[in-house]
Amino acid sequence: MIIVILWLIQDLLTVFTGGGMQIPGLFILGVVCRILLDDGSGDGYLWGIWAAFAGGILWDLRWIGIPGFFTLGYVLVVLIVIQVWGMIPPQGRVSGTSVIVFVLLEATQLIPPMLPVLILGGNTGWGYFLTQQVWALPAILFTMYIYLRTIRDRTV
């Protein structure tokens, strides 16, 4: 339910800015955070792929008009996160993973908006992309805080 609320908040922020500014991908941040907090059963991974696909399709149909831009980016991010997170042993996921978690969360904000910039060309999209990165940093840091607090509460 939180993921749906994040998608709606992201959509409302885009409406409030008139679509003239790239809003941070709150939805994909929520999906990746849930994957990182998964207990390792593997069901969360499959859920994450389908959630990223559905959220990407809805976002493309709502704002882009061409299905596939953000869908590809969202699913690609989830697959990268699953692969990298799977290479870390479970013992290493609890301590000392702040940098890795930051990099994985930053990938959620780099890859999806980069695809339209690469397809439409650098002159039209770099300003939007850089603005989105500036606005995404607080969202990434807040998501990291939630992740680290949840992990700390689980281990204590």
Q: What is the pLDDT of residue 41?
A: 64
Tokens of 66: 């061409």
Residue 42: predicted pLDDT: 65
Contact between residue 111 and residue 76 where contact means Cβ atoms under 8 Å apart = yes
Per-residue pLDDT, 95: 60
Q: Beta strands of the chain (E only): which ranges?
A: none
Instruction: Tally the domains of the chain.
Output: 1
How many beta carbons lie within 10 A of that of residue 49, not counting itself? 17
Instruction: Using the structure block, give the residue that is written with the tokens 């697959």.
Output: 79
pLDDT digits (tens, 9 = 90+) for 1-22: 888 999 899 889 888 887 666 7
Indicate the pTM of the whole model.
0.87
> Which pLDDT value is given to residue 121?
65
Q: How far apart are CA 77 and CA 97, in angstroms?
A: 18
Supply the pLDDT for residue 86. 86
How far is it, in rounded angstroms, from Cα 42 to Cα 45?
5
Q: Low-confidence residues of the chain, pLDDT below 50?
A: none
CA dist list (Å): 80 to 97, 149, 153: 16, 24, 27
The answer to whether the CB of 109 falls within 8 A of the CB of 78 is: no
Q: Which domain holds residue 73?
A: 2-155
| Whole-number pLDDT of residue 19 | 65
Maximum C-alpha span of the chain? 50
